[in-house]
Amino acid sequence: MAPSKDIQPSDLPQDILDGKVLNPSSDDWRGGFKAWIDGLHETTRENLLESIEPEIDKLLIEFALDKTSGKKQEAAKLLGLGRNTLAKKIKELNS
């Protein structure tokens, strides 16, 4: 992530700043992901994986909780985690 938890325009890929919206159902989701990483790389020159992991974890956890109607046990199973590990990740992401 950027030094703060707030997302600044400089954190966004140029495509988004230009108003070009990527279709989330597109087969080329990798292109959008690469554009996001490229934009992040402009502000974060080191530890890209460390910067990206919390964002990806948060998206996956939100997806799993949504698909399981908030049932943490089932969400943990969907993600291949133990319930306690999921609870710990949620706590870390919310702090």
| Neighbouring C-beta atoms of residue 71, cutoff 10 Å | 13
Structural domain contains residue 3: no
Q: In this structure, are 74 and 94 located in the same domain? A: yes
Q: In this structure, are 18 and 55 located in the same domain? A: no
Q: In this structure, are 59 and 94 located in the same domain? A: yes
According to the model, what pLDDT value does residue 4 have? 64
Q: What is the 3-state secondary structure (H, E, C) of the chain?
A: CCCCCCCCHHHCCHHHHCCCCCCCCCCCHHHHHHHHHHHHHHHCCCCHHHHHHHHHHHHHHHHHHHHCCCCHHHHHHHHCCCHHHHHHHHHHHHC
- Output the average pLDDT for the chain: 84
According to the model, what pLDDT value does residue 8 have? 80
> Where in the sequence is the domain holding 70, given as residue range(s)?
47-95
CB-based contact 90:61 (threshold 8 Å): yes
According to the model, what pLDDT value does residue 81 have? 97
Which pTM was predicted?
0.64
Structural domain contains residue 1: no
Q: In this structure, are 95 and 57 located in the same domain? A: yes
Structural domain contains residue 33: yes
User: With a cut of 50, which residues of the chain have pLDDT below it?
Assistant: 1-2
Q: How many domains in the chain?
A: 2
